[in-house]
Structure formats: structure tokens, C-alpha cells
């Protein structure tokens, strides 16, 4: 079994969260109840628990001149999967907050786009020109 990642996050509306991840991103809904749900996002488990409004104090940072969300999570895909997801979201008119190339002509060069979920979480989708460089410096 490949190692999988688990992330637990608060959410405002479990219903809207389920719908976004299932209908917009094509993720599977796993175990769930009235106030929580496990989401299978590319074989990684995200558990959302409805708890009402929450706040993160540092909303963004500057990376090579681009303003990025400080708090975000996402998945690393192959270029074809990445393009399929981008096309899917565009066809559903889901706003892409940014679509950027990072570290151009350097180790770790990759392309990313970001979307917001119903809880205002930013979800990043990225692909690396050279997949073996994900952790190289």
C-alpha cells in the first residue's frame, strides 16, 4: 500500500463542502455523518468537520513576486491529470484564483493553479516538469 496523507480541517457547511469536493473536483465521499465527512482526494484523506466560522491570521505571502495564500493544501499530479482537472473546473465555471509557473528553468520547476472551496480554503493543483525534483533543492 502506498503511503497516504490525512488532513483534518474545520468547515462552515458540511453539505456545501461535500458537494464541492464531489461535484466540482470529482472526489469520492467516504465515511460521513451529519457534521463530518471523509473526502478521498486522489487517494488522500481529508476529514472536514462542521464547526462554524474560523479564522487564520496570515492570509498570504510573497514568493518571487507572486502573492500566494499562506494556508493552502493540494495535490501533485501528472501533467495530463492536472490539465484534466483545470479543464473540468473551467467547464464548470469554477474560478481559478491563479495559474502560475514557479521556479522557471530551475530545479523544481512546476505549474500550479489554485481554487477556493466553500470554506475559503485554497486548494492547489500542481505538476512538476521533472517529477523526481519534487523534494530536490
79-110 pLDDT tens trace:
999 999 999 999 999 999 999 998 899 999 99
Same domain, 82 and 29: no
Q: In this structure, is residue 28 part of a structural domain?
A: yes
Residue range 35-48, pLDDT digits in tens = 999 999 999 999 99
Mean pLDDT of 28-36: 92
Secondary structure letter of residue 109 according to DSSP: -
- Asked whether the predicted pLDDT for residue 70 surpasses 90, the reply is no
Secondary structure letter of residue 95 according to DSSP: P
Residue range 45-66, pLDDT digits in tens = 999 999 877 776 767 777 777 7
Cα(80)–Cα(135) distance, integer angstroms: 21
Cα(74)–Cα(28) distance, integer angstroms: 16
For residue 101, the domain's CATH number is 3.10.180.10
pLDDT band at 30 (very low <50, low <70, confident <90, very high): very high
Phi, psi (rounded to 5 degrees) for 125: -120, 125
pLDDT band at 1 (very low <50, low <70, confident <90, very high): low
- Asked whether the predicted pLDDT for residue 67 surpasses 80, the reply is no
pLDDT at 15: 96
pTM of the predicted model over 0.85 = no
Same domain, 43 and 83: no
Same domain, 117 and 66: yes
pLDDT at 58: 66
Same domain, 46 and 65: no
Same domain, 79 and 120: yes
Domains: count for the chain: 2
- Asked whether the predicted pLDDT for residue 10 surpasses 60, the reply is yes
Phi, psi (rounded to 5 degrees) for 89: -65, -40
Residue 12 lies in domain? 6-50
Mean pLDDT of 63-72: 76
Q: In this structure, is residue 38 part of a structural domain?
A: yes
Q: In this structure, is residue 89 part of a structural domain?
A: yes
- Using a 10 angstrom Cβ sphere, with 0-12 exposed, 13-18 middle and 19 or more buried, the burial of residue 35 is exposed
Per the prediction, the chain carries an average pLDDT of 89
Amino acid at each position: 500500500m502506498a503511503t497516504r496523507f490525512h488532513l483534518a480541517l474545520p468547515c462552515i457547511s458540511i453539505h456545501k463542502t461535500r458537494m464541492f469536493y464531489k461535484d466540482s473536483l470529482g472526489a469520492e465521499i467516504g465515511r460521513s455523518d451529519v457534521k463530518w465527512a471523509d473526502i478521498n482526494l486522489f487517494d488522500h484523506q481529508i476529514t472536514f468537520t462542521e464547526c462554524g466560522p474560523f479564522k487564520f491570521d496570515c492570509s498570504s505571502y510573497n514568493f518571487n513576486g507572486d502573492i500566494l495564500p499562506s494556508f493552502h493544501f493540494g495535490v501533485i499530479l501528472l501533467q495530463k491529470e492536472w490539465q484534466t482537472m483545470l479543464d473540468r473546473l473551467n467547464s464548470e465555471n469554477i474560478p481559478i484564483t491563479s495559474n502560475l509557473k514557479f521556479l522557471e528553468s530551475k530545479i523544481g520547476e512546476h505549474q500550479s493553479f489554485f481554487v477556493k472551496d466553500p470554506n475559503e480554503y485554497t486548494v492547489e493543483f500542481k505538476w512538476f516538469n521533472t517529477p523526481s525534483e519534487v523534494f530536490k533543492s
